Amino acid sequence: MTDLYLYQTVHVARGRALHVAEHAAVLDAASREWFGRPYTPAAATLAARIEALAAAERYPTGVSGFVRIELTEEGLERLLPAGVSLYDGYAYRSLQPTAATIPYEVPFSEFPTSVREAAAVWARRAAERTGAEVAIRCDLEGYFHAAEDAPLFAVTGRTVLAAPAGPGPESVERSITRRAVQAVGLTFREEPFGTADLRRIEELFFTDHRGITSLSHCDGQPLMTFLAERIAGALE
């Protein structure tokens, strides 16, 4: 039987775990919805445990590292090392991959479950078969929802569009991107966008625990990569 769990990946910059209380709040809401039990660790204690694991794994303090929290339906919490970065802090990542739209619905809910994660892996394999490197999840009407299981954003002029949020708390990555967009003086707006809008979209990017990744093409449509780099600079 497949292990059912909830997950979050915490960014550890210069030995300090970032946004731990927000990650815990996402897990708490998901655990109450899926498992019928709360997850309410003291944020400072959880952060200290994450930082201790990063130190035990000898994560270099000159670059960022990542620690994954998994929470099982039995209430077991797992802290797992999830690698290190080439960058110090949230990055504007140097690669600009190509993307293909893959229509599929997330099973059951948008909460960060192992089921959702498995669906995203399947979608990536489907995108790779088309010659792309990233899968953009879209619904049957062609509206975009996520890329690489991470929130996806579109730039049109000086406005950054985000697909309307679903039920439950806002993801940490979506929240920090919203704040960064506002910090650099751009407009953040929730609005559906998708395949029919590609010709008016100037940039597409997604934000995960590592930082921001701009897409160079989507379904063959070329994209620019200007404002996403500015937004990445304001993520912390």
Output the 3-class SS for 93-123. CCCCCEEEEEECCCCCCCCCEHHHHHHHHHH
The better pLDDT of the pair 107, 7 is held by 7
Residue 167 has pLDDT above 90, yes or no: no
Spans of all domains in the chain = 5-88, 92-233
Reported confidence tier of residue 2, pLDDT bands at 50, 70, 90: low
Q: Which two tokens stand for residue 208?
A: 């995960």
Q: What is the mean pLDDT of residues 143-164?
A: 95
Q: What is the mean pLDDT of residues 171-186?
A: 97
Question: What integer pLDDT is reported at residue 192 of this predicted model?
Answer: 96
Residue 199 has pLDDT above 80, yes or no: yes
| Beta pairing class for 211-214 and 91-92 | parallel
Angstrom distance (rounded) from CA 75 to CA 23: 16
Identical fold for domains 5-88 and 92-233, yes or no, is: no
Superfamily of domain 92-233: D-amino Acid Aminotransferase, subunit A, domain 2 (3.20.10.10)
Q: Is 33 exposed, middle or buried (0-12, 13-18, 19+ CB in 10 A)?
A: middle
Query: What fold characterizes domain 5-88?
Result: D-amino Acid Aminotransferase; Chain A, domain 1 (3.30.470)
Reported confidence tier of residue 168, pLDDT bands at 50, 70, 90: confident
Angstrom distance (rounded) from CA 216 to CA 231: 17
Q: What DSSP letter does each residue of 41-64 carry, written as one string?
A: --HHHHHHHHHHHHHHTT--TTS-
pLDDT digits (tens, 9 = 90+) for 69-92: 999 999 999 999 999 999 999 999
Residue 166 has pLDDT above 90, yes or no: no
Q: Which two tokens stand for residue 204?
A: 């597409």
